[in-house]
Chain A
Amino acid sequence: MIDLENVSRVYQRGADVIHALENVSLHVPRGRFVALMGPSGSGKSTLLNVLAGLDRPSSGEVTVAERRLNELSEDELAEFRAQTVGFVFQFFNLIPVLSALENVELPLLLTNLPRADRRRRAETALRVVGLSDRASHLPRQLSGGEQQRVAIARAIVTDADLVVADEPTGDLDARNAEEILSLLQTLKRDFNKTVVIVTHDPRAEKWVDEVIHLDKGVLLETRPGGGSREMAVSR
């Protein structure tokens, strides 16, 4: 699903040159739940942006869902993101003037689906995250956990193969954080989605299949998470 080959990302910030990623190579098969962990400034968000087609590497090859992102134009990258990637952010980032249902429907405006189909698919996505009864609520009328679940519904409504989440539990209490991690694992387990999250949250380790540690832009280690052990036990 995801193949990174010697990917580096260098920023120029004023006079400083920042090496956010240095020769990172990574392979994530389809249907895996992976956590990118590391201290602040380790390059995990940059890595997430690169593999989700939000940012371009300074060097190296990025292939996601059999598409070489290096070769895509800005419009093609936008189309790639619309079709292949679902995004979940730390601060939920729902559009405040749209209801939960309309927020979920938003990515479908980029498709040619008729309005009734868009509505039906958005309702289905909301049902998956357990928020059918909150469809008409505005984001400000929802709790943090509910908003994040709406964001997850928005991420899956286009049936994207890859769901990426940047600190999805960062603004949630313990109970809601567990619910969100469980929901992300459900996406992997029941819908065969590939899920990549960036997190500081140690609780995430027990839900994911794999934990990838980065520091100073370098991939330090890859080790199995609790999700893979659970899977092995259940098998």
Chain B
Amino acid sequence: MKFLPFVLRNLARNKLRSLLTASAIALAIALVCILRTMPAGMDAFLSSIASNTRISTHNEAGMVYQMPYSYLQKVRAVPGVVAAISWQWFGGAVDASRGVEFPNFAVDPEDFGRVYEDWNVSQQALDDFRKYRDAAIVGRGTLEKKGWKLGDVITLQSTLFGLELSFRIVGEVPNPRAVQLYFQREYLVQAFAALGTPLDSTGMIWSRIDDPERVGPVMRQIDEMFRNGEAETTSETEKSFFGNFFGSLKGIVTVIMIVAGIVTLCIVFIAANTASMSVRERVGEIAILKAIGFRSRTIFTTLLAEAVLLSTVAGAAGALISLALTSLLRSSLVSTGPQLGPLTGFVVTDAILVQAIFIAFFIGILSGWLPALGASRRSVAQTLREVF
């Protein structure tokens, strides 16, 4: 500790250079911190939209493949399954030239409210959904985006089946992030019948399980039940389902994390260059220190301490910047509305802060090691001859 004032004085020797280097490290660490929030943020986002008692069952070959509709009854009969409904992708577009703007599915209205009881769809809406063959329940996000309201009649043209169906909006999923449209499966069955084509398959089955602890066994039982059947199935939790759905996003997150690693490496080189310049400018002074009795180890330690101190303090500042930025983002989201809700999940946790400071510490060690080692190993007499 008695060398600390000496180390601090040396850091303040060229204030602008130290400040610029510290700024580069701080910004890089802030970036790394924010990027490090993404996996946890994605997870938090998935947790926020997924129930831990809801599972999906779909064709093992992939979600685009159908399963027999009769599977629904068999799933409903599995012990632990409270309610289950089928999902059939309709692929409806308001304007076919603009494509599908929001997901829309044909579902079984009887159990809709029980499977999605956490969505808080009003009882009136659920009653009307069962009552009217052309009824539709729409997510608030789409209602607001399209300017639709309850009672409106809208028409969707299926990009998949070549059908055009009109729907009466009887309720909403009261969540600004909900964008889906649900309508009665029977409505679609009748439309198919009118074309002379029976609809006896479904794309997916969603079930609610009575106990989170039983989710795993129930999923295994369902998949086992259809083993060697007409279509083998894969069941997964809602969180896992959305996780796969956003799989491409996870790939982007991975790329971003790699970029963060490269940024960190670049900062190591920048900091190492600064440390080298600083040492090179002081070759004479370092020789004098050795001449008056400073051991190589002491020289090495004080030079390394300069790099580590600068980097660690800058890293701590960067971590605090990231904390402030994400807090600011969350507070601004609260005031501007929850449409960007997923971003509120990107929280700089204590663990990320500690990791950031450790990264900064190691940046300091990596950047300072070689210049400090080189300086400490130089022969005093040779340096004195060269410099003076």
Q: Cβ of A81 and Cβ of B384 under 8 Å apart?
A: no
Q: Cβ of B388 and Cβ of A78 under 8 Å apart?
A: no
Say if the beta carbon of A110 comes within 8 Å of chain B. Answer: yes
Say if the beta carbon of B291 comes within 8 Å of chain A. Answer: yes
Say if the beta carbon of A83 comes within 8 Å of chain B. Answer: yes
Q: How far is the CB of A99 from chain B (nearest CB, A)?
A: 10
Say if the beta carbon of A1 comes within 8 Å of chain B. Answer: no
Contacts of A55 in B (CB 8 A): 379-381
CB closest residue in chain A, given B287: A93
Say if the beta carbon of B10 comes within 8 Å of chain A. Answer: yes
Q: Cβ of A83 and Cβ of B2 under 8 Å apart?
A: no
Q: Cβ of A89 and Cβ of B381 under 8 Å apart?
A: no
In this complex, how many residues of chain A approach chain B with their Cβ under 8 Å: the count is 33
- Asked, given contacts A78-B293, A110-B294, whether A89 binds B288 with beta carbons under 8 Å apart, the answer is yes
Contacts of B296 in A (CB 8 A): 74-75, 78
B: contact size bracket:
20 to 34
Contacts of B291 in A (CB 8 A): 52, 54, 81, 87
Q: Cβ of A109 and Cβ of B384 under 8 Å apart?
A: no
CA–CA, A219 to B40, complex, Å?
77
CB closest residue in chain B, given A92: B288
Q: How far is the CB of A167 from chain B (nearest CB, A)?
A: 9
Render A170-204 as a binary contact track against B, CB cut-off 8 A, 1 for contact.
00000000000000000000000000000000000
Contacts of A91 in B (CB 8 A): 388
CB closest residue in chain A, given B299: A78
Which listed residue (A45, A97, A102, A106) contacts B292, Cβ 8 A?
Answer: A106
Q: How far is the CB of B299 from chain A (nearest CB, A)?
A: 10
CA–CA, A87 to B3, complex, Å?
21
- Asked, given contacts A93-B284, A97-B10, A97-B12, whether A54 binds B295 with beta carbons under 8 Å apart, the answer is no
CA–CA, A45 to B386, complex, Å?
13
Contacts of B284 in A (CB 8 A): 93
CA–CA, A86 to B292, complex, Å?
7
CA–CA, A130 to B346, complex, Å?
64
Ordered by A's residue number, 14 sampled pairs between the chains whose C-beta atoms are within 8 Å are A49-B384, A54-B384, A55-B380, A74-B296, A75-B296, A78-B294, A78-B296, A86-B292, A89-B288, A89-B384, A110-B293, A110-B298, A115-B2, A154-B292
